[in-house]
Chain A
């Protein structure tokens, strides 16, 4: 997801101060009964404004560790929670803390793309394996980091799926494609155009990051094109305004967009009536669709239903734990283990490419729908 420049600038100074203080404190080293001292970490936001997803993930990791420790009471593994608050400014210090803890063998996370960019170079240098259950920026896999793995599809994998959905489910023959000229938005829009080919009756580019609020030019074009579906590659702020201004101008065709639009603010800025029927794709399945007894186990331990990314975090933790169980108890051995890992999880089956991406045949993309002001799961989009 996007890191807002304004927010980063505004918060940077303050965060640096707070982080400076927080980094000095470190966890105690207690040797509980039956513990053989190995640790895995969760790296993500547990407090702050973007903590909701982080807590979903941490609870999934907690469940995996809890189950492992019950099954292996003679060699328990400890979970270290590294709370980044989702901030790239805090990430390097936090990463260093994890690296300095020699008993810490692997990490689930970092959760977001921005903090990944800040922390991953350090992990790569230290040879500490990390599996992210949620950071979907495509370029993360192209940085030459040796320790990077991702258990879900990246942003761009949503593009072909969105195209397929428009073609096969909506059966729209005239599609108008808009993007916000960001790497994320334009990347998605290009993929959609490739799939739809001649069904694209027109396309236009707008300005992202809140730089444009009057979309009357685009609205005029969409209206004139007679499109029966509109794809938007970009984020919720522009999407909300475009949807509202289209509806106001009498365009009823549904809007399809990626997970960058999946934010309650989309519905509040477009208004519930205009937002109704919007299709949002996500390389994440609803956590409640996870296999086996995951949903009930999760609820029993955490007292809440699993949320977005709970299942993929659980699977990522289990990959690390399987390695520890197999006796890969040095960082180098565990890294090799993850690189060669194949196996089943509750959310998907896992196998990684050379770059650490989830094998494309295993990527799952789901369509979600805005209904009555809520985002609800619609269906899984078959790929290929």
Chain B
């Protein structure tokens, strides 16, 4: 146990933990949205995320950037980031759409038992991940150095870096956008209605299939942006990294209360912090142990997660 280390690096561990947590949170939203509406754990969501991460890298490479490129000038950096973000979000939304159309909708039409959904979810996840593996020859794909890691300013001796500000800022912005979309728009009202009571919603004229597709697209968009932020933060992507990140994001969703959007945010940030503090306190080999121990203990006392379940009821 290294408490002096924890105290002396507390600031830096917090900022990097929040950055990683923000990525978890964005991916967690996809799990939570789908669960809230369909009561289905979309295990293929990790591959929705990885589609975005690869799409961003390939967009840059089509624009002539590779892992050795250096880009200067605020304007061009911002442009590269925005283009990659749009492409990543589109790619992930597309992947989510395809998964829903191919793997879930046909089963829903035939009233398949929940176990069938679980297996197609895992099947879709492995198929997509292996396809990326074959296509990338299972090699890590490097990311160009776009965002500088220079400290922007200091708070109580802790450097606050451009990258962390960008990641946390972008993630929060996306979440506020999603929250508004669900709570303030007509489409959002449809989603909440289907989540609450699909039959009544259908009687009131809500198109269930379209609403479900919308949920997948919204979750995919969030995951695509998460993929881009992951690229920037981690620096290289291998085809298989989605699995564990997806599992962590799912954990974050459960931690915050699955089906609850704000819970996903809270759970993600908390998980990122716990991981970082634990790796300083006990050594990095205890990072995952600590993260999942916290989950188990917390669920013992609050079985529905920190903020409780439900997308439709309470205050989503």
What are the residues of chain B within 8 A of A219 when measuring CB–CB?
A: 16
Contact code string B224-243 (vs A, CB < 8 Å = 1, else 0): 00000000011110101100
Once A210-B241, A214-B20, A265-B140 are accepted as A-B contacts, the answer to whether A248 and B235 lie under 8 Å apart by CB is yes
What are the residues of chain B within 8 A of A216 when measuring CB–CB?
A: 13, 16-17, 19-20, 276
Q: Once the chains bind, are B284 and A210 in contact (CB under 8 Å)?
A: no
Q: Which of A1-29 contact B (CB under 8 A)?
A: 4, 6-7, 10
The answer, yes or no, to whether B260 is at the interface (CB within 8 Å) is no
Q: Once the chains bind, are B235 and A204 in contact (CB under 8 Å)?
A: no
Q: Once the chains bind, are A240 and B244 in contact (CB under 8 Å)?
A: no
What are the residues of chain A within 8 A of B19 when measuring CB–CB?
A: 216
Q: Once the chains bind, are A220 and B280 in contact (CB under 8 Å)?
A: yes
Q: Once the chains bind, are A217 and B285 in contact (CB under 8 Å)?
A: no
What are the residues of chain B within 8 A of A271 when measuring CB–CB?
A: 67-68, 142, 145, 235
Q: Once the chains bind, are B140 and A269 in contact (CB under 8 Å)?
A: yes
Q: Once the chains bind, are B234 and A213 in contact (CB under 8 Å)?
A: yes
Q: Once the chains bind, are B12 and A220 in contact (CB under 8 Å)?
A: yes
The answer, yes or no, to whether B221 is at the interface (CB within 8 Å) is no
The answer, yes or no, to whether B288 is at the interface (CB within 8 Å) is yes
A217 to B9, CA, bound (A): 10
Q: Once the chains bind, are B142 and A268 in contact (CB under 8 Å)?
A: yes
What are the residues of chain B within 8 A of A224 when measuring CB–CB?
A: 5, 8-9
Q: How many residues on the A side are at the interface (Cβ–Cβ under 8 A)? A: 39
Contact code string B254-286 (vs A, CB < 8 Å = 1, else 0): 000000000000000000000110011001110
Q: Which of A181-215 contact B (CB under 8 A)?
A: 181, 204-207, 210-215
The answer, yes or no, to whether A272 is at the interface (CB within 8 Å) is yes
Q: Once the chains bind, are B235 and A241 in contact (CB under 8 Å)?
A: yes
Once A220-B16, A248-B235, A268-B67 are accepted as A-B contacts, the answer to whether A6 and B142 lie under 8 Å apart by CB is no
The answer, yes or no, to whether A245 is at the interface (CB within 8 Å) is yes
Q: Once the chains bind, are B288 and A207 in contact (CB under 8 Å)?
A: yes
> Which of B13, B149, B285 is close to A205, meaning CB atoms less than 8 Å apart?
B285
What are the residues of chain A within 8 A of B141 when measuring CB–CB?
A: 268-269
> Which of B70, B130, B236 is close to A269, meaning CB atoms less than 8 Å apart?
B236
Total A-B pairs, Cβ < 8 A = 116
Q: Once the chains bind, are B16 and A4 in contact (CB under 8 Å)?
A: no
Shortest distance between the CB of A260 and any CB in chain B (Å):
14
Q: Is the interface of B mostly helix, strand, loop or mixed?
A: helix
The answer, yes or no, to whether A325 is at the interface (CB within 8 Å) is no
Q: Once the chains bind, are A244 and B139 in contact (CB under 8 Å)?
A: no
What are the residues of chain A within 8 A of B287 when measuring CB–CB?
A: 207, 212, 217
The answer, yes or no, to whether B308 is at the interface (CB within 8 Å) is no
The answer, yes or no, to whether A270 is at the interface (CB within 8 Å) is yes
A220 to B275, CA, bound (A): 13
What are the residues of chain A within 8 A of B285 when measuring CB–CB?
A: 181, 204-207
A31 to B138, CA, bound (A): 45
The answer, yes or no, to whether B133 is at the interface (CB within 8 Å) is yes
Q: Once the chains bind, are B233 and A214 in contact (CB under 8 Å)?
A: yes
The answer, yes or no, to whether A221 is at the interface (CB within 8 Å) is yes
Which B residue's beta carbon lies closest to that of A273?
Answer: B68
Q: Once the chains bind, are A268 and B139 in contact (CB under 8 Å)?
A: yes
Q: Once the chains bind, are A204 and B283 in contact (CB under 8 Å)?
A: yes
The answer, yes or no, to whether A237 is at the interface (CB within 8 Å) is yes
Shortest distance between the CB of B233 and any CB in chain A (Å):
7
Q: Once the chains bind, are B234 and A265 in contact (CB under 8 Å)?
A: no
Q: Which residues of B contact A (CB under 8 A)?
A: 5, 8-9, 12-13, 16-17, 19-20, 67-68, 70, 130, 133, 137-142, 145, 149, 163, 233-236, 238, 240-241, 244-245, 275-276, 279-280, 283-285, 287-288
Show 16 residue pairs from A and B whose CB-CB distance is below 8 angstroms, ordered by the A residue. Answer: A10-B130, A10-B133, A205-B285, A207-B288, A212-B284, A213-B241, A214-B233, A216-B19, A217-B280, A218-B279, A218-B284, A220-B9, A220-B12, A221-B5, A248-B149, A265-B140
For the complex of A and B, 7 pairs with smallest distance between CB atoms:
A217-B279, A269-B236, A216-B16, A269-B140, A244-B235, A205-B285, A271-B67
Q: Which residues of A contact B (CB under 8 A)?
A: 4, 6-7, 10, 49, 181, 204-207, 210-221, 224, 237, 240-241, 244-245, 248-250, 265, 268-273, 373
